[in-house]
């Protein structure tokens, strides 16, 4: 009977874990819906800002702002975006592995530094990697706000304009769906120039007030902040999607384990009852 008590205790323990994982899945699903709404609301501003940037007719050969200046990447900064919490499958480990791969594959003459966003990335690279961390930010995703993006963008722009870093690479998970996150390594600085045919046509006979350089001085930092904000929104949504999927899988696994333990419990109980009956019958036969 001691074995039966152990199995019953195990069933109760797994059942409690299943309730927790099910609740975490529901919470992640609710947060995911809000994150998707935030991405949708941010899209019109991003499209309009991109349209204005296209109308300015920015040319890489005509460097009129330091954030556009291309130079030899002697010092590369990796902006690593992870979550503040775990229990989200391979969400954090994929970003960390991609960053480690980039650090290993970097040319020997190139210096690498890190700017970590998210507690998981900060803790890992602080304790396991001997690379300078020029910036770190934890707790961003507890109450995600645009001010976090402006703070990160301001720090990176200041480092780039001062010449302390020569390139900034984003390493993050882009949200595609609740079950799909795409790992990215994209350039943030110098500002990438992506020009569509419509933007090329919109440059014709464009008049600027104030002058073009003044507009660039205002719009380029805004553009960088917007890119960082998009990355934070995507990463947050991807985190919730990964956590929802992981908790759903954990809940299903707990259900399967409870079914196996229940079957084992019933078999053990049946065997114990059969043994007791056999002993009673044997004792009665011996008395007769």
Residues carrying an active site annotation: 88
Q: Phi and psi dihedrals of 167, rounded to 5?
A: -160, 145
Q: C-alpha distances in angstroms, 208 versus 4, 203, 214? A: 81, 11, 10
Contact 174, 232 (CB under 8 A): no
With H, G, I as helix, E, B as strand and everything else as coil, classify residue 206. coil
Which token pair is 275?
Answer: 């043994």
Contact 82, 95 (CB under 8 A): yes
CB neighbours of 169 closer than 8 A, spacing ≥ 6? Answer: 76, 77, 78, 79, 102, 185, 186, 187, 188
**Strands of the 167-177 sheet, one edge to the other:** 133-137, 111-117, 75-81, 167-177, 180-189
CA distance 134 to 74: 15
C-alpha closest to that of 254 among 8, 88, 14: 14
DSSP characters over 29-82: HHHHHHHHHHHHHHHHHHHHHHHHHHHTT--TTS--SGGG-----SEEEEEEE-
Query: Pairing state of beta strands 111-117 and 75-81?
Result: parallel
- Using a 10 angstrom Cβ sphere, with 0-12 exposed, 13-18 middle and 19 or more buried, the burial of residue 77 is buried
């Amino acid at each position: 009977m001691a074995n039966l008590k152990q199995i019953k205790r195990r069933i109760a323990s797994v059942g409690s874990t299943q309730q927790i994982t099910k609740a975490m899945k529901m919470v992640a699903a609710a947060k995911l819906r809000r994150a998707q709404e935030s991405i949708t609301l941010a899209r019109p501003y991003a499209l309009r800002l991109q349209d204005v940037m296209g109308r300015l007719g920015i040319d890489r050969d005509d460097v009129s702002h330091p954030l556009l200046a291309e130079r030899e990447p002697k010092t590369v900064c990796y902006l690593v975006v992870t979550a503040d919490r775990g229990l989200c499958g391979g969400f954090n480990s994929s970003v960390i592995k991609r960053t480690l791969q980039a650090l290993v594959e970097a040319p020997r003459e190139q210096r690498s530094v890190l700017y970590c966003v998210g507690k998981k990335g900060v803790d890992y690279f602080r304790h396991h990697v001997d690379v300078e961390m020029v910036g770190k930010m934890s707790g961003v995703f507890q109450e995600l706000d645009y001010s976090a993006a402006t703070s990160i963008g301001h720090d990176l722009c200041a480092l780039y304009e001062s010449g302390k870093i020569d390139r900034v690479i984003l390493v993050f998970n882009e949200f595609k769906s609740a079950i799909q996150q795409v790992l990215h390594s994209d350039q943030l600085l110098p500002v990438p120039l992506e020009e569509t045919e419509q933007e090329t046509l919109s440059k014709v006979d464009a008049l600027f007030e104030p002058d073009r350089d003044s507009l660039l001085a205002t719009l380029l930092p805004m553009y960088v902040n917007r890119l960082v904000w998009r990355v934070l929104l995507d990463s947050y949504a991807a985190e919730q999607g990964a956590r929802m999927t992981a908790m759903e899988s954990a809940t299903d696994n707990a259900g399967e384990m409870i079914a196996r333990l229940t079957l084992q419990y019933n078999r053990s109980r049946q065997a114990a009852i059969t043994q007791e009956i056999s002993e009673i019958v044997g004792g009665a036969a011996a008395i007769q």
